[in-house]
Structure formats: structure tokens, C-alpha cells
Amino acid sequence: MKLTEEQLASYHHDGYVLLDDVFSGDEIEILCIALSEDQRVPGPHLITENDGSTLRSIYASHTRHPVFERLVRTERLLDPARQLAGEDLYVHQMKINSKQAFGGERWAWHQDYIVWRDVDNMPAPSQVNVALFLDDVTEFNGPVIFLRGSHRLGTLERPGSTEGHESGHIDPDEYSLTPAELADLVKQHEMVSPKGGRGGVLLFSSQIVHGSGTNISPFARRLLILTYNPVSDAPRPVGAPRAEHLAGRDTTPLVVDSGPLDRR
Amino acid sequence: MKLTEEQLASYHHDGYVLLDDVFSGDEIEILCIALSEDQRVPGPHLITENDGSTLRSIYASHTRHPVFERLVRTERLLDPARQLAGEDLYVHQMKINSKQAFGGERWAWHQDYIVWRDVDNMPAPSQVNVALFLDDVTEFNGPVIFLRGSHRLGTLERPGSTEGHESGHIDPDEYSLTPAELADLVKQHEMVSPKGGRGGVLLFSSQIVHGSGTNISPFARRLLILTYNPVSDAPRPVGAPRAEHLAGRDTTPLVVDSGPLDRR
């Protein structure tokens, strides 16, 4: 699956592009079953709510479950991402976040790349993020909100951030924008939040400023986020690298898989 | 100003109706200046953020400032409310809430009338709420969200609520719906959040289930909420009534004022 010229232009101008109905309802079902299977594997990649069983986040399912291993190679995701990056890709990070009903909290406004630069020593902002809607995304369940076109501003340095930061603990608050900064940015870059049915895919730049609101709906909302990185842009950690489920180390170029997700 | 047959039908069917551009930009300016003047009057009606100066809520400005005294009588608000209630009205409560940028928190899902019934001993759910947009209301700054048509369900009793509750402290959490209740309700009553520019007016039933999300935008969002109550429906408190800025005791029928808001 290739992006059209118009979709490419839209991504480069706005910093994102939304593709509706990339996966069918049956395929999303397959992914959700695979998720429930993978959730049974304990480990540091699994983050639950305080009840110890409700999913909050799960990392790197593509390294444990064949359905997700195929997903990250599926032509419908890998082809557009390669088109945008113009290079061979590997998976830097894959996670599924479940934003809880009523309680799913907002995410502060931030850019992704600056964090990976500082924590992983990632050389360049060439990543393509792929958000796959496992549930319908509406204005009521905390959709991602972008500042349209803000990826063109480049890396917005933070007072607390330092290029070449040694790997280790990163305080996300150090990387969030202040209301004053955001008030200034929205004069040029309006807030937009692409929404759509389950099975939709949102491609976005690792340089775009984004945040999200709360999930005020009565249903949890699951979002799969996959970060492709060019093989040539693999991190060069100064100290010990981060855990592999947070920053993938297998930089073998991904090869497109055109088969169904659930074949045996 | 009278509501059309279509607007009346919409209110009775959905539990709310949105009227765009009821007040001009100049009139909203007059109201905002009056608000900043009224904010200088100290007292329990004024609730600030932790910094002691940023407005969170202010009650009963119509009892202190001539601009708001006229506002509650203006034909553009009072006529539609009388049409909906079919009776003479007085002001039960008037407040202006400012939902802070980044930090303005969500309001739990609830109905209004049940609280006034229990805390004020209000006989019937005949109130008409009027929300006047002092700032643009968008999907990003925590708009009110309704369950469309849920006012037709009547009063949804709460485990913690008791009819004839004595006046006093009410825990709002006692009156909020659980995710399970809400999940059931949204099967029949979809979530909707009417939005629009400053100067718009949202009329809504005191029985409609509503909540709101966070304000993720960089600007505070001010909303004026006026509750008209029929004179015949005045509370009959069992013990001491609530403070007058929370529950108005002047039940003199309001008379329409057709003049400009800021006349001397």
C-alpha cells in the first residue's frame, strides 16, 4: 500500500496523515485476541493499573507474539512508513496504551524525538510513528491532539534537556511545554485531533508537538503505537542502553509481509 | 426573543438547545469587564485557585453588579427560559466558572436537580439552565458533554442520596454516575458536546446527565451558568438554608429588561 502524492504532501506539511479503515473489524479482533494472549506473559514490558490486572501499557508485543510480529511487517504499515522515511526501517518501539474509562489521564504537550535523542542518543528525528486505532477514537475518549505543522519547528530545546544526556531516568515533565510556550505556538499551529473508527491508522512525525485529553467516556480506549526508525539512525547509547522492550536493538531491515495476520 | 417551534421541540427531545451568537463580541467584552470588577469584591462567593488571585468560580454576580443584574433579566435569556418553563422565574443560582489552561479538570457525570432536591429541598425538576459562552468553546477546552435525551429518564437515584436530605454538606461524588451505569446509559443516549463561539448560549434541562473533560488548551475558558427556577418551585429547606449566593432566596418574578447591558 502506497501513500498518494496528496497524502505525502499532507504528512510533510501538517506532520501527520490519517488513513481510515486500514484494517477490517475482523483483523482488529485478531489483534485484540493476540493482545489478550500476550498480556498473560509477565515481565517489565507489562504495566497494569493499581488493580494488578487491568492493562495500562504493554511494550514490544512484536517480539513475543506472531500476530504482532507480522503486524509490524505488514505492507499496509511498513510501505507508507518506508515511503515517508525514504530508507529501510526497524522497530524502535511498539506499545499498546489503554486509556481507562473516566480515569484515563491527559498527556502533557511534548515532542517525541528530543526524549529519544537524550535518553537513547538517537542521532536524527527521522522516525515515523504509526498509531493504530484498536477502538474507535472520538472527542470523548482522549484522542491525540497535534499542533498542526509544528514538526517543521525542529527540536524545541527544553531548559532541563541536554543533548547527549546519559541514558537513564528521564522525567517526562522536563520535556513538556509550558502553557506560555503553547499559547505562543498555537498562534501559528492550530490544535487538531484526528479521529476515526477502529482500524484507522494515524502516521505522525516524531517532531510534531502533541498531547491528549482525558477519557471521559465509559469505555477504555486502546491505541497501538509503533515507532519505525531508519536503520542508519539507530541509537548510539553512551552508557548502558535502555531495556530492549523500550528501545529495540534489532536493527535488521524489516521485510514486507503480505499474508494475513493470523496465519498458522 | 422567542424560541422557534423547532428549537422548543429540540430542547424537549434532547434536553438542550444551542443558540449561536446571542451576544455580540462587544457585549461579551462588557460582561468580561464587569466580571473583572466584580472579582475585586471579596467574600465566600469568590473561589480562587491556589495562587489566591486566579478565578476558579464566582457566584451571584447579579446580586452585586448592575451589568449582571441586567443580564439575568435580558429578554434574550429570560424569554426563552420562561417559554421552556411556562412560568414566572427567579434566579436560583448564577456562577461563572473558569476552567484553567492545562489544569482545568473534568467534572464527573451527574444530574443537577437531584443535588438541589437533596440539599435545598427543591420540590420539582423545573429549572432551566443557561450556559453563556464567555470564551469560544472547543473540543480542546473541556466543553460540557451531555447524554442526549437522558433528561427523559427522570431522577436517577443514587445509593448515597436520600430524598429530603437535610441541608448541609453534599459530597459531589455521592451524585456521580459509575462507569457501569454510564456504559449502560450511552447505549440509548449518545454523548454530545455542543460547541461554539463566545456569545453563544446553551439552554439545558436540570435533569440531563452531563459531565466535562479537561481543558488541554493553553487558555482558560470562562463559562457563565445561570439557573432559572419557577417561582412556584422555590426550595423549602428543612433546616438552615444554604448561603444565598449558592441558592437564591429572592423569588420575586423577574421582569424582562430590553435595554443595553451597560447603560448608566
Q: Which of A242, A229, A237, A235 is nearest to A123 (CA)?
A: A235
Q: Do A191 and B217 contact (CB within 8 A), yes or no?
A: yes
Amino acid at A21: D
Q: Do B217 and B63 contact (CB within 8 A), yes or no?
A: no
d(CA A125, CA A218): 36
Amino acid at B175: Y
Half-sphere exposure of A54 (CA within 13 A, CB side): 13
Q: Which triple of cell numbers denotes residue A114? A: 528530543
- Interval A142-166: pLDDT, tens: 999 999 999 999 999 987 655 544 4
Instruction: State the best of A100, A141, A178, A216 to mutate against chain B, taking most chain B CBs within 10 Å.
Output: A216
Q: Give the pLDDT confidence score for residue A164 in this predicted structure.
A: 46
Characterize the bridge pairing of strands A210-212 and A107-110. antiparallel
Q: Is B139 on the interface with A (CB under 8 A)?
A: yes
Whether the predicted pLDDT of A167 surpasses 50: no
Domain boundaries of chain A, sorted by first residue: 5-156+169-231
Amino acid at A207: Q
Mean pLDDT of each 10-residue bin along chain B, 264 residues long: 95 98 97 96 90 90 97 98 97 95 79 94 97 97 96 90 51 81 95 98 98 90 97 92 94 94 83
Q: Which residues of B touch A139 (CB under 8 A)?
A: 139, 193
By CB neighbour count within 10 A (0-12 exposed, 13-18 middle, 19+ buried), where does A61 fall? buried
Tell me the CATH architecture of domain A5-156+169-231.
Sandwich (2.60)
Reported pTM: 0.90
By CB neighbour count within 10 A (0-12 exposed, 13-18 middle, 19+ buried), where does A51 fall? exposed
Q: Is B44 on the interface with A (CB under 8 A)?
A: no
Amino acid at B120: D
d(CA B264, CA A239): 72
d(CA A256, CA A262): 16
Q: Which of A235, A226, A217 is nearest to A254 (CA)?
A: A226
**A49 vs B140, which has greater pLDDT?**
B140
Who among B102, B191, B217 is closest to A140 (CB)?
Answer: B191
Contacts of A166 (CB under 8 A, 6+ apart): A238, A239
- Interval A55-89: pLDDT, tens: 899 999 999 999 999 999 999 999 999 999 999 99
Q: Give the pLDDT confidence score for residue B108 in this predicted structure.
A: 85
Residue B126's SS3 state is coil
In chain B, DSSP assigns E strands to: 16-19, 46-48, 55-59, 89-99, 107-110, 128-133, 144-147, 191-192, 201-205, 210-212, 221-230
By C-alpha distance, the chain A residue nearest B194 is A139
Whether the predicted pLDDT of A168 surpasses 60: no
Q: Give the pLDDT confidence score for residue A67 in this predicted structure.
A: 97
Which residue is listed with cell 482558560?
Answer: B220
Q: Is A190 on the interface with B (CB under 8 A)?
A: no
- Interface contact flag, B179 A216, Cβ < 8 Å: no
Q: Give the pLDDT confidence score for residue B167 in this predicted structure.
A: 42
Interface pTM, i.e. ipTM: 0.86
DSSP structural state of residue A230: E
Q: Which residues of A touch B180 (CB under 8 A)?
A: 218
DSSP structural state of residue B214: -
Instruction: State the best of A140, A144, A178, A192 to mutate against chain B, taking most chain B CBs within 10 Å.
Output: A140
Who among A179, A217, A219 is closest to B218 (CB)?
Answer: A179
